[in-house]
Amino acid sequence: MKTILFAASCTFMLVTVYMVFMWVPTEQNLGVSQRIFYVHVPLGWIGMVSIFVVGIASVIHLLTRKNLWDSIAYSAAELGVIFATLILITGAVWAKPVWGVWWSWDPKLTTTLILWFVYVGYLMVRSFSTPGSQGRRYASVVALIGAIDAPVIYLASIWWRTAHPNLNIGPLAESDSDLDGKMYITFIVSLVTFTIFYVYVMLERVQMRKCEDDLDEVHQYVSLN
């Protein structure tokens, strides 16, 4: 399964790079910088999916107390912080040529920054708490608060006046999208690519996290005997 995902991830990455640089037409108003869109939006998608994964895995962990769900939540949070960092960085770099500033307190940007703080907060709670279930439970609560932020980010461009364009993805995406046919295909391919890459790295990280937990148990056993 993982080998298939790895192969698919490699193939799609190369296809995406080709499509973004060689195949897709350049947008009339934004010029070359619009090609950042094919990276920025999929990263945003993964960032939001990840906090849902953390939230759902945390709820199941709180209910069942099974370590597997905690490993999933921790791995998703770790990946989430990377993707959320990338959303903020790529957004800032794109904002400079388009808006003329690196950062503005736009509702979508602000709520995404809050999401980044939630991810960092989750990992900080985990690293500063003593080994055992208490830190895991506290972190699960942080994750649940963070999960509320994801729909707020998604709906920010509907609820508030924002410099961001209309929704292109998800249940409320407008059917008459502004994107040209080739642009839309490139966008979907990029979205699939990053999703496959995320699933693959996530599976690897969860497996590694389980090994870390097992090692901790062996350490405790060795130190007690």
Partner 1 sequence: MYPLISRFLGLVSFVSIAAVSMLVLEKSFVFADSALVGEAKQNDPDANLKYLFTVFFLVWAIFFGYIFFLSRRLKEMRNEVAMLKKIISEKE
**Which one of 133, 173, 215, 220 is in contact with partner 1 (CB under 8 A)?**
215
By beta-carbon proximity to partner 1, the closer residue of 172 and 218 is 218
Q: Is 205 exposed, middle or buried (0-12, 13-18, 19+ CB in 10 A)?
A: middle
Examine residue 110 and tell whether it contacts partner 1 (CB under 8 A).
no
How far is the C-alpha of 47 from the C-alpha of 18, rounded, in Å? 24
Which of 8, 10, 59, 120: binder of partner 1 (CB under 8 A)?
10
Distance CA 46, CA 52 (A): 10
* Amino acid occupying residue 137: R
184, 185, 204, 213: which one binds partner 1 (CB under 8 A): 204
The one-letter code for the residue type at 118 is V
Site for partner 1 in 151-190 (CB under 8 A): 180, 182
Residue 102, classed as helix, strand or coil, is coil
| Of 19, 51, 47, the residue nearest 188 (C-alpha) | 19
Kindly tell me which residue out of 64, 145, 219, 220 binds partner 1, with binding defined by CB under 8 A: 219
In angstroms, the Cα distances linking 119 to 7, 30, 42, 49, 125 are 29, 32, 18, 13, 10
Distance CA(39)–CA(215), nearest Å, equals: 37
Which residue number, 40 or 61, has a Cβ lying nearer to partner 1? 40
Phi/psi at 208 (nearest 5 deg)?
-65, -40
Of 66, 133, 163, 212, the residue at the interface with partner 1 (CB under 8 A) is 212
Site string for partner 1, 22-61 (x = CB under 8 A): xxxxxxxx-xxx-xx--xx--x------------------
- Min. distance of Cβ 158 from partner 1 in angstroms? 26
Size of residue set near partner 1 by CB under 8 A: 45
Number of helices (H), then strands (E), in the chain? 6, 0
Residues in touch with partner 1 (CB under 8 A): 2, 6, 10, 13-14, 17, 21-29, 31-33, 35-36, 39-40, 43, 82, 85-86, 89-90, 93-94, 96-97, 180, 182, 201, 204-205, 208, 211-212, 215, 218-219, 222, 225
